[in-house]
Copies of this chain bind each other. A is one copy, B any other.
Amino acid sequence: MTLRPILLALCLAASLPVAAAAPYRSAQQILDASPASDWRTPAPENTLYMELDAGRVVIELAPGFAPRHVANIRTLAREGFWDGTSIYRVQDNFVAQFGDAEADDPGKAKNLGTAKRKLPAEFERDMSGLAFDVLPDADGWAPQAGFADGFAAGRDVQSGKAWMAHCYGVVGAGRNLEADSSIGAELYVVIGQSPRQLDRNITQVGRVIQGIELLSALPRGPEPMGFYADAAQRTPIRAVHLASEVPAAERTRLQILRTDTQTFRDMVEARRNRRDDFYKRPAGHIDLCNVPLPVRLAKE
C-alpha cells in the first residue's frame, strides 16, 4: 500500500459523522454514583428470613400484590410454622419448594395454627394506585412490562390489571388445581429460566433479595418434578421468621434500588446497550427478567 491510499482512507474516516455519545458507564459505575435517596430499605414486617444450616435467605414480601397471602404468611412465620420443615422439592431450571412435606396427608400435616385455611386467589390486582415504571422494550407475555412496588411486573391498561412476573428469585404460593387453593404455607422460589407462563395463574408473594444461591445450588430431587421421596435428602429449615420479630442486631440490613429513579433507568439502558470493550454488538433490547434489581448491604 502506498502513502496516497492510506492518506485517502484517513481523510475519509475523519469525515465520517461521529456520534456525540456520552462516555459509556457500566451498570456498576452507575450504581456506584447513585445518591443514597435512590435506595429504599424493605420494611421489616415485609421481610422474611429463612435460616438454613448453610446461611440465611432473605425474602421481600409483596403485600401490594398479594395482601391476603402476605398477611397469612406473617401469621405462619410468627407462629413458627416453618421451623423444622424442609425444602422438599428442587426441580432443575424451575423451582425450589419448601414448607411442610406432609401437607397433603391429613394424618401427618403440620398444624396451621391461627393461619387461614382458605384464601382467594391473588393472581392480579387493579392497576389503579400502583406506580408502574414501564421498560422501553416490548414483552411477549404482557402488554406492558416493568417494575411496580419493587417487583418485576406486567400490566394491561385495557383490563386495568397488574401482576407480578415470574422472574428468577420470585416466590410464589404453591397451589393445587383450584385457583383458590393456596394459603402461602407451601412456597416455591424460581431458580431457572423465567416460567412466565405461570403469570396470572398463581399467587406470587415476594422475591428472594439475598441468598438465592443457597436454594439454586441444592441437589435436584430425583423424583418426578424434583421431589425427594427420601426425607433424609431434604434440606432442613431451621426457621422462617419475619425480620420485625428478629432483634435489630441480628437483621440483615439490605437496601434495594428504587425503580422510579434516573439511576435505575440509566442502569437499564446500560444493560440494553452494553458498550464496554467486551460487547461487539449491543443488543438494543432487554427482557423484563434480564433486568437486575440491585440489592446492597446498607453502609454502616
A residues whose Cβ falls under 8 Å from a Cβ of B = 90, 92-93, 123, 137-141, 167-168, 177, 179, 192-197, 199-201, 212-213, 216-220, 271, 274, 277-283, 285-287, 289-290
Known: A92-B212, A194-B290, A195-B290. 19 other contacts (CB 8 A): A90-B217, A92-B213, A123-B280, A137-B140, A139-B140, A140-B285, A167-B193, A177-B277, A177-B278, A179-B280, A192-B193, A197-B279, A199-B283, A201-B280, A201-B281, A213-B219, A216-B217, A217-B217, A217-B218
The CA-CA distance from A196 to B194 in the complex, in Å, is: 13
Q: What are the residues of chain B within 8 A of A167 when measuring CB–CB?
A: 193
Tell me whether chain A's interface is mostly helix, strand or loop, or mixed: loop
A278: chain B residues at CB < 8 Å are 177, 201
Minimum distance in angstroms from A182 CB to a CB of chain B: 12
Q: Is the CB of A197 within 8 A of B92?
A: no
Contacting residues, chain B, for A218 (C-beta < 8 A):
217
Q: How far is the CA of A295 from the CA of B274 in the complex (A)?
A: 35
Contact B280 A193 (CB under 8 A): no
Jot down 10 A-B pairs with beta carbons below 8 A, ordered by A: A92-B217, A140-B140, A141-B287, A168-B193, A177-B277, A193-B193, A197-B290, A200-B280, A200-B281, A216-B220
A221 nearest in chain B by CB position: B213
Q: When A and B form their complex, which 7 residue pairs have the shortest distance between CB atoms, in order from nearest?
A: A92-B213, A213-B220, A197-B283, A140-B285, A177-B277, A200-B281, A168-B193
Q: In angstroms, how far is the closest chain B Cβ from the Cβ of A274?
A: 6
Q: Which residue of B lies closest to A282 (CB)?
A: B197
Task: Give the residue name and chain of the B residue nearest to A190 (CB).
Answer: B193
CA distance A167 to B287 in the complex (A): 13
> Within the complex, what minimum Cβ distance (angstroms) separates A43 from chain B?
26
Instruction: Determine the residue in chain B with the shortest Cβ distance to A121.
Output: B280
**A290 and B177 contact, CB distance less than 8 A:** no
Bound-state Cα–Cα, A216 to B218, Å: 9
Determine if A287 and B196 form an interchain contact, defined as CB atoms under 8 angstroms apart.
yes
**Across the two chains, which residue of chain B brings its CB closest to A176?**
B278
Given A177-B278, A216-B92, the answer on whether A196 and B283 have CB atoms closer than 8 Å is yes
What's the nearest-Cβ distance from chain B to residue A285, in Å?
Answer: 5
For A289, the chain B residues whose CB sits under 8 A away are: 193
Do A192 and B192 touch (CB < 8 A)?
Answer: yes
Closest chain-B Cβ to A122's Cβ sits at a distance in Å of 13
Establish whether residues A194 and B193, one from each chain, have CB atoms under 8 Å apart when the complex forms.
Answer: yes
Q: How far is the CA of A179 from the CA of B281 in the complex (A)?
A: 11
- Cα A141 to Cα B277 with chains together (Å): 20
* Known A192-B168, A213-B220, A219-B217: A197·B286 in contact at CB below 8 Å: yes
- Measured CB to CB, the nearest residue on chain B to A177 is B277
Closest-by-CB residue of B relative to A215 is B92
* Complex Cα–Cα for A286 and B193 (A): 12
**What is the bound-complex CA distance between A93 and B58, given in angstroms?**
17
